[in-house]
Amino acid sequence: MADEVQRVFVASVVEEDGNSLALGCFSSEETAWQVLRTFLKKSDQMLLTSSSVVVWDIDVIGEDGVNVLSTMECKDCPVCGRRTFWMDLENFSALCHGDACAAWVEESTLEPGVIDCGWPPIRFLKQAKDIDEAFKELFKIGDQMKAVSKVSNLGDKEPQEMLDEWRRKSALGSSDSNNGTQNDGSNETEGE
C-alpha cells in the first residue's frame, strides 16, 4: 500500500488585478519550487505582483493546517530591467529569474549585517553594508550593459558621426558661454 500523503505543497502567483493563479498541489516541496521557478521565468510576460509556496496539512481544520513557506514580491530587475526580479522579504533574498540574467541579492550567511550581491554572467560579486548599496551596485551594472548595447547597435559610421556632432555642439556652446571668445584653438579674443 502506498504511503498516505500527510501534507501538500501549493505554489501560486497573484496578478496585478488581484487574481490568484494556483500552479498546482504537490506532494513534495521540491516539486512545488521547481514548478514555481519555471513559471517565474516568464513573469515579464504577465502583470504579476507576488508568489508563494504554502504547505497544507491534510485533515487539519482551520488555520492550524496551513503554513506559508515563502512569499515573494515581483520587481523590475536592476540589471536587465525586466519584471523578473523576485524578492523574499522575510528571509531577505532576491533573484532575477529572467533568461541569461540571474542577478541576485541576499544577506551573507558568513558575515551578519553584510549584504552580498552578484551578476553571474560576468562573475560579478560584491559585498555591501546595506541593501540600498547592493542595489546601487546592480543598477550600475545594468546602466553599463544598456550603454554597451546601445553602442553595439550603432552602424559603422554612427559612432564617429555622433562624436563629431557632440564636438560641434560643444564648440558652439563654449563660444556662446565665453561671450566673444573665439573657439578656434587660439587664445585671442575679439577686439585685440
pLDDT digits (tens, 9 = 90+) for 103-139: 999 998 888 889 999 999 988 999 999 889 999 999 9
Query: What is the Cα–Cα distance from 173 to 111, expressed in whole angstroms?
Result: 52
- Give 3-state DSSP helix, strand, coil % of the chain, rounded to 5: 35, 30, 35
Instruction: Output the pTM of the full model.
Output: 0.68
State the DSSP code for 3. P
Q: How far apart are CA 36 and CA 9, in angstroms?
A: 11
What is the structure's pLDDT at 136? 94
Is residue 98 over pLDDT 70?
yes
Better pLDDT: 160 or 11: 11
